[in-house]
């Protein structure tokens, strides 16, 4: 009986135990460390992170400012997601060499393709600088004053880092909304070349239909190589550069995992807001998500039409479409999950608890008493401003590429490198498509603007007086007359300011005017949100809180685990509730949805999958199937894409690439029961490279255990 109770208790602990948390690398507490060990991690803390000796930390990179990656060979080979390499793959694609559609494999070092905008950062170390920063802020400073002091001290600290090592750079980041500050030091390598990409019908299988959802069969990976100069130091691209030799590279395991086995991710989660007030969540739903979903819906349908017209247009807009639709669908998912999981009500309860706790000892805890009222006040007072601001950003700043370019130039204080910026921006623009986007979003803005103060003035007047109220005619005129809509002529212009008589320039000034109206909100929301977080942490002082994601390197631990509840809108029912998908469900989706572009396959992929001859070393020993994607309880978010997923021995078992629909409220509140990390199994990756593409030269570089 005693044994039974013990086992029962253990089970309860296990199911109630949250794998929530994105823990700061190099700053793990003993408590966290012992949890890692109890779950099955066999690496010592030193093997995980060390400033002296090579550790797993050294195999992880931040990629390009938006993703993560993991170094897997002594010659600097790096795995990341297909959707992280997507832009680069698109850049090298043409209708004739369609690497998006057919995939890409460099058969030699010489064939590896450089990418102007890509870089990787290696994390060197992280130092706590909280006292230096907070010590410099007077107690009565408001948000604005505090921000400028924080900026100044951070800059001083960054200057003090030793930069004699090449490519060293550093950054000060706020943690716990500014209750703590850490300085992180990185080494940047800028020559990162594309080595391998699977065909899109593998790398993006399921497309937008399956995005943010389980069950999944996407082989979401691509392969790059980091290059260095002859001394292994960072260097700009040069054909004389050589493969980089890392301090440490990850070994790959084909041993797999099982329900309950250890899993951890190491990578760069971008942003979460887990301590946000109930008012803040409500505001996010109404002024960010609703707006983003509505405006992007308008834009995406125009791009979708255009992309169906030709291969050239499909390739040209592939990456822009994917990144816009990613958070379009996210916005819907986050709002849906916030409602379904009653997140606001839960937060309100926590806030009531805080108020009660504060009332119990007003002398010590008095500073928390007014915080909720201040927050409520802030979000009520600023509702229209926040709504208008996001509507403006979605409609104009990130709406039409051409108009957005004009706006961004207007907002810059320096006017150098104009042609360089033109070259970058105009690489993937179809003027006719852009015009449709601009027209639709302009009208949409005017229709949805939440208050007269944010309304445009000159444009509507001009449309009324000169075009009889017809916006289409006005936009025709704009795109006919403006130099910005004629890339060839634009190439002859030296500086942006030469164009201050251009009709698009003038329109942008009007639009910018409406932004100044929505720019300023009133009230110190940051101070109050931070105070709320401090109160909750103080009230629950036994609980160890991790800081929100802020694009610094984090570890998240957990287990391989299915979800009990998974509606499984697509695919096999049993796979929806299993933690791993198989080739059968891949083919089912394809065969049962012949009209869905997202499940379409190029003939060689279909033939290969149908034949189902995969190398025995990639077959899962437990299920006797090729494992495609799998689930863990790791706590991840955007930016983690491409993060290595490791087993208890620190061997690579997969790459994290997505989260699940049921718990898409996760950036604001982690759900212990429902939240999962979706990863692509490394054996699926290897089989595609090896069995489908015969990329032996890459497989040979890996250390496979």
What are the b/e assignments for 113-127, b being 16+ CB within 10 Å? bbbeebbbbbbbbbb
- The CB-of-204 to ligand ARG minimum distance in angstroms stands at 6
- The CB-of-637 to ligand ARG minimum distance in angstroms stands at 8
Closer residue to ligand ARG, CB minimum distance, 203 or 234 = 203
- The CB-of-216 to ligand ARG minimum distance in angstroms stands at 10
Closer residue to ligand ARG, CB minimum distance, 265 or 277 = 265
Gap between the Cα atoms of 38 and 262, Å rounded: 10
Closer residue to ligand ARG, CB minimum distance, 169 or 208 = 208
3-state helix, strand, coil split of the chain in percent (to 5) is 50, 15, 35
- The CB-of-211 to ligand ARG minimum distance in angstroms stands at 4
Closer residue to ligand ARG, CB minimum distance, 204 or 683 = 204
Closer residue to ligand ARG, CB minimum distance, 83 or 248 = 83
Closer residue to ligand ARG, CB minimum distance, 327 or 546 = 327
Closer residue to ligand ARG, CB minimum distance, 211 or 272 = 211
Q: Which of 55, 58, 82, 83 is catalytic?
A: 83
Q: What Rg value do the Cα atoms of the chain yield, rounded?
A: 26
DSSP code, position 287: I
Taking the mean position of all CA atoms in its chain, how far away is CA 379? Answer: 26
* Residue pair 217/581 in contact by the 8 Å Cβ criterion: yes
Gap between the Cα atoms of 299 and 306, Å rounded: 11
- The CB-of-582 to ligand ARG minimum distance in angstroms stands at 21
Q: Which of 58, 191, 220, 620 is catalytic?
A: 220
- The CB-of-316 to ligand ARG minimum distance in angstroms stands at 17
Gap between the Cα atoms of 67 and 616, Å rounded: 32
* Residue pair 557/35 in contact by the 8 Å Cβ criterion: yes
- The CB-of-77 to ligand ARG minimum distance in angstroms stands at 22
Closer residue to ligand ARG, CB minimum distance, 303 or 504 = 303
Closer residue to ligand ARG, CB minimum distance, 450 or 571 = 571
- The CB-of-78 to ligand ARG minimum distance in angstroms stands at 17
Name the residue among 576, 558, 586, 577 with its Cα closest to residue 643: 558
Closer residue to ligand ARG, CB minimum distance, 76 or 198 = 198
What strands, in cross-sheet order, belong to the sheet with 644-646?
23-24, 554-559, 262-267, 644-646, 652-659, 677-681, 629-632
How big is the CA angle at 644 (ends 544 and 105), to the nearest 5 degrees? Answer: 165
- Give the DSSP letter string of 46-106: HHH--SSS--GGGGEEEETTTEEEEE-STT-EEEE-HHHHHHHHHHT--SSS-HHHH-EE-
Q: Which of 73, 170, 324, 641 is catalytic?
A: 641
- The CB-of-311 to ligand ARG minimum distance in angstroms stands at 19
Angle between helical axes of 603-611 and 583-592 (0-180°, round to 10): 130
Gap between the Cα atoms of 330 and 527, Å rounded: 28
- Give the DSSP letter string of 526-594: HHHHHHHHHHHHHHTTTSPPPPPP-SS-EEEEEEB---S-----SS-HHHHTSSB--HHHHHHHHHH-T
N- to C-terminal Cα separation, the chain: 42
- The CB-of-554 to ligand ARG minimum distance in angstroms stands at 15
What are the b/e assignments for 64-77, b being 16+ CB within 10 Å? bebbbbbbbbebbb
- The CB-of-601 to ligand ARG minimum distance in angstroms stands at 16
Gap between the Cα atoms of 336 and 576, Å rounded: 19
Gap between the Cα atoms of 228 and 511, Å rounded: 45
Name the residue among 101, 208, 350, 253 with its Cα closest to residue 653: 253
Name the residue among 340, 356, 337 with its Cα closest to residue 348: 356
Gap between the Cα atoms of 336 and 347, Å rounded: 16
- The CB-of-417 to ligand ARG minimum distance in angstroms stands at 31
Closer residue to ligand ARG, CB minimum distance, 388 or 639 = 639
* Residue pair 68/643 in contact by the 8 Å Cβ criterion: yes
How would you class 681 by CB atoms within 10 Å of its CB: exposed for 0-12, middle for 13-18, buried for 19 or more? buried
Closer residue to ligand ARG, CB minimum distance, 322 or 602 = 322
DSSP code, position 112: P
Which residues of this protein are in contact with ligand ARG, per CB under 6 A? 83, 204, 207-208, 211-212, 322, 326, 638, 641, 657-658
Annotated catalytic residue 83: yes
Q: Which residues are catalytic?
A: 83, 220, 641
């Amino acid at each position: 009986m005693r044994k039974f109770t013990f086992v029962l208790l253990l089970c309860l602990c296990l199911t109630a135990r949250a794998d929530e948390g994105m823990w700061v690398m190099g700053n793990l507490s003993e408590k966290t460390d012992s949890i890692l060990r109890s779950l099955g991690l066999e690496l010592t803390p030193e093997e995980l992170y060390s400033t002296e000796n090579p550790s797993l930390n050294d195999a992880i990179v931040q990629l390009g400012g938006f993703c993560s990656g993991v170094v897997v060979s002594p010659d600097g080979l790096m795995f990341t997601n297909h959707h992280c390499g997507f832009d680069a793959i698109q850049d090298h694609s043409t209708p004739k060499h369609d690497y998006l559609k057919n995939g890409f494999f460099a058969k030699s070092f010489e064939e590896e393709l450089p990418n102007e905008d890509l870089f990787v950062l290696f994390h060197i170390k992280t130092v706590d600088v909280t006292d230096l920063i907070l010590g410099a802020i007077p107690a009565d400073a408001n948000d604005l004053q505090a921000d400028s002091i924080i900026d100044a001290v951070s800059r001083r600290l960054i200057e003090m880092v030793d930069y004699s090592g090449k490519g060293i750079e550093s950054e000060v980041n706020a943690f716990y909304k500014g209750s703590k500050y850490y300085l992180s030091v990185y080494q940047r390598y800028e020559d990162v070349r594309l080595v391998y990409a699977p065909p899109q019908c593998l790398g993006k299988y399921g497309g937008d239909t399956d995005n943010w959802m389980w069950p999944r069969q996407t082989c979401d990976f691509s392969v790059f190589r980091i290059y260095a100069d002859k001394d292994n130091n960072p260097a700009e691209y040069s054909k004389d550069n050589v493969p980089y030799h890392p301090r440490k590279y990850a070994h790959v395991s084909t041993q797999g995992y099982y329900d309950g086995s250890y899993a951890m991710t190491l990578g760069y989660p971008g942003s979460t807001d887990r301590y946000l007030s109930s008012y803040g969540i409500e505001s996010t739903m109404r002024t960010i998500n609703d707006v983003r979903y509505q405006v992007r819906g308008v834009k995406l349908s125009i791009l979708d039409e255009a992309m169906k017209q030709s291969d050239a247009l499909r390739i040209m807009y592939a990456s822009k479409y994917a990144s816009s639709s990613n958070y379009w669908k996210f916005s819907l998912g986050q709002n849906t999950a916030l409602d379904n999981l009653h997140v606001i009500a839960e937060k309100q309860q926590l806030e009531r608890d805080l108020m009660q706790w504060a009332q119990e000892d007003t002398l010590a805890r008095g500073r928390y008493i007014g915080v909720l009222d201040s927050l409520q006040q802030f979000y009520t007072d600023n509702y229209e401003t926040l709504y208008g601001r996001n509507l403006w950003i979605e409609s104009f700043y990130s709406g039409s590429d051409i108009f957005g370019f004009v706006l961004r130039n207007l907002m810059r204080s320096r006017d150098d490198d104009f042609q360089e910026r033109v070259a970058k921006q105009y690489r993937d623009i179809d003027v006719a498509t852009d015009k449709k986007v601009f027209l639709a979003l302009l009208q949409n803005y005017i229709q949805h603007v939440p208050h007269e103060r944010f309304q445009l003035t000159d444009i509507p007047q001009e449309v009324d007086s000169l075009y009889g109220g017809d916006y289409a005619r006005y936009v025709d005129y704009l795109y006919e007359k403006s130099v910005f809509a004629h890339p060839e002529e634009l190439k002859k212009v030296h500086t942006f300011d030469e164009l201050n008589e251009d009709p698009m320039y003038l329109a942008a000034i009007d639009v910018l005017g409406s932004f100044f109206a929505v720019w300023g909100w009133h009230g110190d929301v940051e101070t109050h949100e931070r105070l709320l977080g401090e109160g909750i942490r103080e009230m629950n002082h036994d609980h160890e809180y991790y800081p929100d994601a802020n694009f610094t390197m984090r570890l998240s631990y957990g287990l391989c685990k299915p979800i009990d509840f998974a509606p499984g809108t697509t695919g096999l029912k049993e796979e929806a509730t299993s933690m791993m998908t198989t080739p059968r469900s891949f083919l089912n989706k394809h065969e049962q949805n012949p009209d869905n572009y997202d499940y379409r396959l190029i003939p060689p992929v279909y033939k290969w999958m149908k034949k189902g001859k995969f190398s025995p070393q990639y077959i899962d020993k437990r299920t006797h199937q090729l494992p495609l994607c799998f689930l863990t309880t790791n706590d991840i978010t955007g930016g983690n894409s491409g993060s290595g997923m490791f087993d208890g021995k620190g061997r690579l078992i997969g790459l994290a690439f997505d989260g699940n629909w049921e718990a898409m409220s996760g950036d604001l509140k982690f759900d212990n029961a429902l939240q999962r990390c979706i990863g692509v199994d490394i054996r699926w990756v290897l089989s595609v490279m090896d069995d489908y593409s015969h990329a032996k030269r890459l497989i040979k570089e890996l250390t496979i255990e």
